Structure 1
């Protein structure tokens, strides 16, 4: 039985051209009726597609029409049905961010890669960090800090010198961004079931924004981050090119 495929693409011309060619060749089912969703673009578009289709039953198979394509498979038009039939599924669980902003509003957002706090003014941020209700760091003076999932550990977390986490590991990475004090603090690993809380000191003088993947909240007073094991994003990869292999390969380049 031929899989019903829904094709989605980023706004990039290369992605739109690919979508038109694939839809003409293999048909284009409505997302709600599809057996699989094929996303054409880069990693940012893949994250957007995973968030947007969270409530659907179809897994997402990405093909790279962007730049890095860490979450994507190589692009090819000729053998798509065979590749989809042989693809291996991986399930990743997002983080949930709860935050309160200075205007009193409460915000909630999901993040597949990471939740980051970043200074949004001229001065460094001052953060207080607690894990599961216990104060762990009285003062972190920095440009920011983040909590990363294993799937997102090679993205912003890695560029901030955080560790690459094996897929399926039961930990999250807590990483500082340009820490000034304490100078030698290199972050921490916490259980995936832990709740990490950031409290912002002097928010008027040292404003901080929080970002869950691409959703930003300005002028936060506090942020709590925890994993959501009851939510699973289904991603398809070509055999031998799944997240475990990609994360391992990144550590030897």
Structure 2
């Protein structure tokens, strides 16, 4: 059996299950692991994927959270057989580069989405540029987000953005509570697109930028592009692949 590292969201139920798995199958440090087994919810999966970016370590999740969209069902039996039979899904993060009011330039990766949010009682004013061309001169809104296919069923869906097939070379650009233009509902872009958000009236209407859970405040410009050099791999039981889950989500009512 491959060397595994068992991680948890530290809830009592997950910790108890992890103790049984470690006793039965062993567990090594993350740096020495060949496969990571994560016991928790989608939040833990997202955190774990960030920890293994660039290491080629696949992650197999078992659900001890609420939704568990990215997780498999828990069982402590036949873990080695389940890992060997699992289906792989490769996903790629977004790279966010931020310029802020202090003149700093900072970067972060997002597996789900990059989001911009108004940081005061006043609506944000954003200019949206795609591949160097201004596509929307002024979006007055609570914010906007750019989502990967993997993240399209998360916050993007809650903001009424489109669900993207997991293998599609696409990104979803979705406004958050748009005021003007009122009827604009976003765009579907190539995953090769470079998307730039420029904050208008930044002193009066401050904006924060978030890559998954990494937040930068008082941003002036945010540039986002897919980063194909930092793929991560998720493992799913046969018949429950992420591609199947994303497809099934489109037929929920």
Same fold (TM over 0.5): yes
Matches within 5 A, 1:1-20: 2-20=1-19
For the residues of structure 2 that align with 1:51 and 1:110, how far apart are their CA atoms?
Answer: 8
Q: 1:242 is matched with which residue?
A: 241
Return closer, same or farther for 1:19/1:41 CA change in 2, 3 Å cut-off. Answer: same
Deviations 1:11-56 (A, max 9, x none): 2222222211211111112222222110111111111111111232
Q: 1:114 is matched with which residue?
A: 113
For the residues of structure 1 that align with 2:220 and 2:57, how far apart are their CA atoms?
Answer: 38
Q: 2:170 is matched with which residue?
A: 171
Further displaced range: 50-59 or 88-97 = 50-59
**Unmatched 5+ stretches in structure 1:** none
Matches within 5 A, 1:105-184: 105-184=104-183
1:228 aligns with 2:227: yes
For the residues of structure 1 that align with 2:61 and 2:35, how far apart are their CA atoms?
Answer: 10
Question: How far did 1:58 drift?
Answer: 2.0
Deviations 1:119-157 (A, max 9, x none): 110011000000000000010000000000000000000
Question: How far did 1:76 drift?
Answer: 1.0
Q: 2:23 is matched with which residue?
A: 24
Instruction: Please state whether the residue corresponding to 1:205 is helix, strand or coil.
Output: coil
Q: 1:251 is matched with which residue?
A: 250
For the residues of structure 1 that align with 2:107 and 2:183, how far apart are their CA atoms?
Answer: 32
**Unmatched 5+ stretches in structure 2:** none
Question: How far did 1:85 drift?
Answer: 1.0
Q: 1:97 is matched with which residue?
A: 96
Instruction: Please state whether the residue corresponding to 2:27 is helix, strand or coil.
Output: coil
| Number of aligned positions between the proteins | 252
TM superposition score normalised by structure 2: 0.97
